[in-house]
Amino acid sequence: MPHFVELWIYLSATPLFGLTATLVVYLLAQAFYARTGSAPWANPVLWSVATLAVLLTLTGVSYPSYFSGAQFIHFLLGPAVVALAWPLWQRRAELRARGVRVLLAALLGGAAAGGSAVGLAWAFGLPHDVVLSMAPKSVTAPVAMGIA
């Protein structure tokens, strides 16, 4: 137990805390997800975010301090989205055959996601700057960075 306390003190004082906490929590959430038979309610990303929020609150670690270590994972979001293009490239003939439908679905889906987020914020009477901030929250993280 003393070694754990020493490790905790060391990690919480360095940028490694954010990276280590994120990886450990996600691996635990992934194991939980597998044990539930991949139940939708056990989504590892959802549980990782919730667990990290509770962990940061209970330990008093500020978000900027956490993010200084987790920014490496944040940086990898861009290449990860680009990597998602590979399966699309492999099915490019199918996509070309259904090009108009795919394009229309993507445009309508994107507009519906952004429009519903902004529309609900406006309908609930949220301040103007909060309403505008909802658009990036309705798309994937790399796209949101471009919008914001």
Question: How far apart (Å, rounded) are the C-alpha atoms in residues 55 and 73?
Answer: 18
Task: Please tell me the predicted confidence (pLDDT) of residue 59.
Answer: 85
pLDDT > 70: what percent of the chain?
A: 84
CA 114 remoteness from chain centre: 17
Closest CA to 44 of 53, 31, 35, 56: 31
The answer to which of 8-17, 27-36, 40-49, 51-60 has the lowest mean pLDDT is: 8-17
Task: Please tell me the predicted confidence (pLDDT) of residue 100.
Answer: 92
0.85 cut: is pTM over it? no
Q: pLDDT grade, residue 113 (50/70/90)?
A: confident
- Domain range list for the chain: 1-75, 84-148
Question: How far apart (Å, rounded) are the C-alpha atoms in residues 129 and 133?
Answer: 6
User: Which of the two residues, 37 and 75, has the higher pLDDT score?
Assistant: 37
